[in-house]
Amino acid sequence: MAGVHSRLLATFLLLLSFGLPLLTAAASSAGCGKGPTLRNGQTVNTNVNGKSRQYTLRLPDNYNQSNPYRLIFLWHQLGGSAQKIIQGENPNQGGVLPYYGLPPLDTNKSAIYVVPQGLNAGWGNQNGEDVTFFDSMLQSVSDGLCIDTNLVFSTGFSYGGAMSYSLACSRPNKIRAVAVLSGSLLSGCAGGNDPVAYYAQHGTSDSVLNVSGGRQLRDRFVRNNGCRAVSEPNPGQGGKSTRVDYQGCQQGKEVVWVIHGGDHNPSQTDPGSNTPFAPRNTWEFFSRFN
Ligand SMILES: *[C@@H]1O[C@H](CO)[C@@H](O)[C@H](O)[C@H]1NC(C)=O
Ligand SMILES: *[C@@H]1O[C@H](CO)[C@@H](O)[C@H](O)[C@H]1NC(C)=O
Ligand SMILES: *[C@@H]1O[C@H](CO)[C@@H](O)[C@H](O)[C@H]1NC(C)=O
């Protein structure tokens, strides 16, 4: 018996010593271990396909060049701007909280944010130019800062949700998870055959991008991720959000869908609450991955 036990123990220790480091190892970017070449609050000008493009960075306090950070892309809505994402707008009037409300939830200070500015204040992604812009930003930030390249995320409302979906389609090996807030098919879907962890929320009374568009996007990743389809839930009383965690998805390729009774609104709250639920749901989803 003792022999069996010690062999089991030895196997277990072997698994521990070889398995765990593989599972938990961060994919450190080229910028790790070096002085940062990009600063908190910096707006970077770059040139993509002959067009001038801009994005602004937010680094956590006490940025540590030895620590591989999560990288979260925040795309604005049509007519919005990087500046409006940074400053935030009144959530009681359908505005977004600063940085989509995520930094206060990141109590570990684990994330760096990239806030891009759209051409014509949108993400038309003509000939894939906004995806190319993403590639360029990811490269520069990976070189200039310490990023865990396995922990790259994307979120946005409306057109910004469409752009996040487009990246899930075309960059499944770079994007770990997306959060699509009231999105629709507006920025294209090149590729679109691979699994990516997918959170989305949508209102049944959306008067700008109807909920069927949001369901269509979701269903692509329900399929790609190998999840079982479920019957469509309704919002609860007073439009209260109802959440579906799809089952049977490939590991790490979860799909979460939140349906609510509201309009086109990134800051939808549940009855009796003043707190928009998108930030907490998004952070809960993104922080599962490490
Ligand atoms: C930076 O992070 C490294 C790795 O996690 C850690 O060993 C070091 O103590 C940190 N430095 C500071 C100043 O916190
Ligand atoms: C902080 O990090 C720990 C360890 O990775 C993780 O379990 C926890 O969920 C994180 N907290 C938040 C709020 O993200
Ligand atoms: C939803 O919007 C799409 C795109 O604008 C449109 O093609 C479709 O007919 C709409 N569906 C419903 C049920 O209103």
**CB of 213 shorter than 6 A to ligand 3:** yes
Give the list of residues 6+ apart from residue 121 with CB closer than 8 angstroms, or none: 76, 78, 79, 80, 81
Helices and strands in the chain: count of H runs, count of E runs: 6, 9
The mean pLDDT value for 216-228 works out to: 98
Task: Give the mean pLDDT of 125-148.
Answer: 98
Q: How confident is the model at residue 4 (pLDDT cuts 50, 70, 90)?
A: very low
Q: What is the mean pLDDT of residues 238-249?
A: 97
From the CA of 209, which ligand is nearest? 3
What confidence tens digit (pLDDT) does each residue in 81-129 have?
999 999 999 999 999 999 999 999 999 999 999 999 999 999 999 999 9
What is the average pLDDT across 183-203?
Answer: 98
Taking the CA of residue 65 as reference, the ligand 1 atom at the shortest distance is: 1
To test ligand 2's pocket by mutation, which of 24, 108, 288 has the most ligand atoms within 8 angstroms of CB?
108
Closest by CA to 180, choosing from 221, 147, 143, 127, is 221
pTM over 0.85: yes
Position 1 scores a pLDDT of: 39
pLDDT at 40: 98
206 C-alpha to center of ligand 2: Å?
A: 34
CA of 68 to the centre of ligand 2 (A): 14
- Which residue's CA lies nearest to atom 3 of ligand 3? 213
Among the atoms of ligand 2, which is closest to the Cα of residue 290? 5
Average pLDDT (140-155) is 98
pLDDT confidence bin for 25, thresholds 50/70/90: confident
| CATH number assigned to the domain with residue range 31-286, chosen from the 4 options 3.40.50.1820, 3.30.360.10, 3.50.7.10, 3.40.50.1580 | 3.40.50.1820
Q: Is the CB of 284 under 6 A from ligand 2?
A: no
- Ligand number, closest to the Cα atom of 212: 3
> 61 CA to middle of ligand 1, Å?
13
From start to end of the chain, where are the E strands? 43-48, 51-58, 69-75, 111-116, 147-157, 177-181, 197-203, 242-245, 255-260
**What is the share, in percent, of the chain residues with pLDDT greater than 90?**
91
pLDDT of residue 12: 47
Return mean pLDDT, the chain.
93
In a 10 Å sphere around its CB, with 0-12 CB exposed, 13-18 middle and 19+ buried, how is residue 80 labelled?
buried
- Judge if the beta carbon of residue 107 lies within 6 A of ligand 2: yes
**Cα-flanking dihedrals φ and ψ of residue 88, to 5°?**
80, 160
pLDDT at 277 over 80: yes
| pLDDT-derived band at 224, boundaries 50, 70, 90 | very high
Question: Which ligand 2 atom minimizes the distance to the CA of 108?
Answer: 1
Counting from 1 in the atom list of ligand 3, the atom nearest the Cα of 210 is 1
- Specify the pLDDT at position 24: 55
Answer whether residue 32 shows pLDDT above 60: yes
* Every domain of the chain and the residues it spans: 31-286
**Per-residue pLDDT band at 26 (split at 50, 70, 90):** confident
Neighbours of 153 (CB within 10 A): 26
Ligand 3 atom closest to Cα of residue 209 = 2
**Spacing, Cα 66 to ligand 1 middle (Å):** 6
Please determine, for residue 67, whether its predicted confidence score (pLDDT) is greater than 90.
Answer: yes
Band (20; pLDDT cuts 50, 70, 90): very low
Tell me the mean pLDDT in the region 177-181: 99
What's residue 51's pLDDT? 98
Strand, coil or helix: 262? coil
